[in-house]
Amino acid sequence: MESLDGLSPRIRERLQSVGSLSDEERILADEEAQVDTLLKAFYQNELDAAVLLETLKGYEAEKRFTALKFARDKLRQSFKWPELDWDFVEGQDGTIAMEERRTMAKEDEQTATGTVLELTDSTFDTVVNANSVMVVDCWAVWCGPCRMVAPVIDELAKDFAGKVTFGKLDVDKNPATARRFQIQSIPTILIFKDGKLVDQKLGAMPKAMLEPIISKHTVSA
């Protein structure tokens, strides 16, 4: 019989009834045991929220997304959850990032004032799904036409403030999202409605052409 030290009661009970764990189950059990130890220290005030956040960010950097899922599920059911000013942001590809709730509130404020948001692979789905109409400018630093369309996006963000959220995605820094939407050339403008891609335009379009395209998606927003 394998040692039961460090395992959660649920895993210990399963181990005792089955007799042994597979390699995959052992890895999951080890991840959960580490999370349980970490959260126990937090619940007993041996670890403050700032240190807990830094530890979880370390998990994020190490791509330990299973451990982050354990931590997310356990924390959200705990008495400590209302005290925290950060949250877990999950992408459709299974990645999880830590983000301060103040940052998310700031994004809402920026949207209302017509600020263009910086999107990343880890925040893309959360931001897009949180807005009824979202326009995303896919660009890169080296792209000349992208620099031409940037001021157009800035102007439109102010014109549509409070109605449409605008964001920018650097395709070089965020290749996963670029691949998912098959971005072959830039600039590419993606338009989402209720989290679903409803339109896609290529090239540095002038404001006079882009504005009516966006307007038609705000009719029932």
Indicate if 146 belongs to the active site.
Answer: yes
User: Which among 39, 56, 67, 146 is annotated as catalytic?
Assistant: 146
User: Which among 11, 38, 143, 149 is annotated as catalytic?
Assistant: 143
Indicate if 138 belongs to the active site.
Answer: no
Bridge partners (DSSP) of residue 86 are: 100
- The radius of gyration computed from the CA coordinates of the chain, to the nearest angstrom, equals 22
Tokens of 115: 């600020």
| All residues at 6 or more sequence positions from 54 whose CB lies less than 8 Å from its CB, including other chains | none
For the chain, how far is it from start to end, CA to CA, in angstroms? 60
Burial of 83 by CB count in 10 Å (0-12 exposed, 13-18 middle, 19+ buried)?
A: exposed
- Active-site residue list: 143, 146
